Amino acid sequence: MTQANPSSPAPEAAVPSFGLIVVGDEILSGKRADKHLPKFIELLGARGLPLAWAEYVGDDPARITATLKRAFASGDIVFSTGGIGATPDDHTRQCAARALGVPLALHPEAEALIRERMQDTAREQGTVYEPDRPDNVHRLNMGVFPEGASIIRNPYNKIPGFSVGQVHFVPGFPVMAWPMMESVLDTRYAHLFRHEAWIEKSVIVFGGMEATLTPLMEQIESRFAGTKVFSLPSVDHPQHGRHIELGVKGTPEQVAEAYPALLAGLATFPVQLGPELVR
């Protein structure tokens, strides 16, 4: 990974939100476990970026279209995995065009790459490439994208994904999708990477209630711009039992200022503090 090294990190307010859409009945039925969500969180985290939201949708064209309409309208940077093939249960390309209100068209660069892949396959199998054979003509449908799309190169087998604006479409296969996601992040969004560390510091709180502690949390976020306060309650933790993990996250400098203020605020409540955690 080639990571940007800007002179200063992008301001919090200037960083768009990142979202993930995972398409496929096989995920919702449990036939396959989704691996994209944890991997995308990892890819973003390595670049100092958080995931804002994720959504799962089955192979239903109406639902996919509605989901993509929201994605295009959101202004977020969104990655969509799955459903971009050319079998009857692949609907993502068509739904993206409907969501945008544009026609589908064979992308010339995608066509060239798919033809190149078919020639490679014929050569590997020791057969003659027949461009007009019906199955080879059908394979070109994998390069039919919404008009105006740009391609995402696929280093695994050359069959490309595509981008429209800040919404990026990759295959459902992790071996293909993950390098393509990483490439888009590094080539299009390097200016958003945070070279400063992003840390969390928290404390285990016993005997408190979130509703009671909420004014303190709001006060800390208001006093220390850019810092986020989080509260993770647990009722049956194997080590701590019922408790709240209360903490702050941000740059080391932000956390160094906000965390002591959080502890000082907690001292005014009838609670007991346990271990402190740093991530």
Are 86 and 172 in the same domain? yes
- Whether the predicted pLDDT of 75 surpasses 90: yes
Question: Which of 194 and 58 is assigned the larger pLDDT?
Answer: 58
Give whole-number Cα distances, 175 to 42, 182, 196, in Å. Answer: 15, 12, 30
Closest Cα partner for 271 from 217, 201, 203, 200? 203
User: Does the structure show a pLDDT above 70 at 4?
Assistant: no
Res. 7: pLDDT tops 70? no
Tokens encoding 67: 């989901």
Same domain, 45 and 164: yes
The domain boundary residue, chosen from 192, 219, 243: 192
> Do 174 and 44 reside in the same domain of the chain?
yes
Place of tokens 């093939």: 85
Predicted confidence (pLDDT) at residue 11 exceeds the cutoff of 70 = no
Answer whether residue 127 shows pLDDT above 80: yes
**Same domain (yes/no): 137, 233:** no
Domain assignment of residue 48, yes or no: yes
Question: Could you tell me where the beta strands, DSSP code E, fall in 51-149?
Answer: 53-57, 77-81, 104-106, 144-146
Contacts of 270-273 with CB under 8 Å at 24 or more apart are 270/207, 271/205, 271/206, 271/207, 271/208, 272/205, 272/206, 272/207, 273/203, 273/204, 273/205, 273/206
* Total residues found in the chain within this entry: 279
- Report the C-alpha gap between 223 and 219 in whole angstroms: 6
Do residues 42 and 112 share a domain? yes
For residues 26 and 69, state if they share a domain.
Answer: yes
Q: Is residue 45 part of a domain?
A: yes
Give yes or no for residue 9 having a pLDDT over 90.
Answer: no
Give the pLDDT of residue 3: 39
Total domains, the chain:
2
What is the arrangement of strands in the sheet containing 150-152, beginning at the earlier edge strand? 53-57, 18-23, 77-81, 167-170, 161-164, 150-152
Q: Is the pLDDT of residue 123 over 70?
A: yes
Same domain, 182 and 211: no
pLDDT for 12: 45
Shared-domain flag, residues 213 and 93: no
Strand 272-278 to 199-206 pairing: antiparallel
Query: What are the Cα distances from residue 105, in Å, to 147, 201, 237?
Result: 6, 51, 54
Instruction: Return the CATH number at 254.
Output: 3.30.70.2860
**Whether the predicted pLDDT of 14 surpasses 90:** no
- The pLDDT tens digits for 236-274 are 888 889 999 999 998 889 999 999 999 999 999 999 999
Q: Is the pLDDT of residue 100 over 60?
A: yes
Mean pLDDT of the residues in the chain: 92
In a domain, 7, yes or no: no
What mean pLDDT is predicted for residues 170-186?
97
- State how far the Cα of 110 lies from the Cα of 144, in Å rounded to an integer: 8
Beta strands in 165-253 (DSSP E): 167-170, 199-206, 228-237, 241-250
Domain around 49: 12-192
pLDDT at 2 over 50: no
Residue 1 lies in a domain: no
Residue recorded with tokens 């309650």: 233
Q: Is residue 234 part of a domain?
A: yes
Portion of the chain with pLDDT greater than 70, in percent: 94
Which tokens go with 239?
Answer: 């080590």
Is residue 59 domain-resident? yes
Select from 141, 172, 192 the last residue of a domain: 192
- The verdict on 76 and 205 lying in the same domain is no
Round to whole Å and give the CA distance between 150 and 160.
Answer: 10
Better-scored residue on pLDDT, 12 or 140: 140
Residue 188 bridge partners (DSSP): none
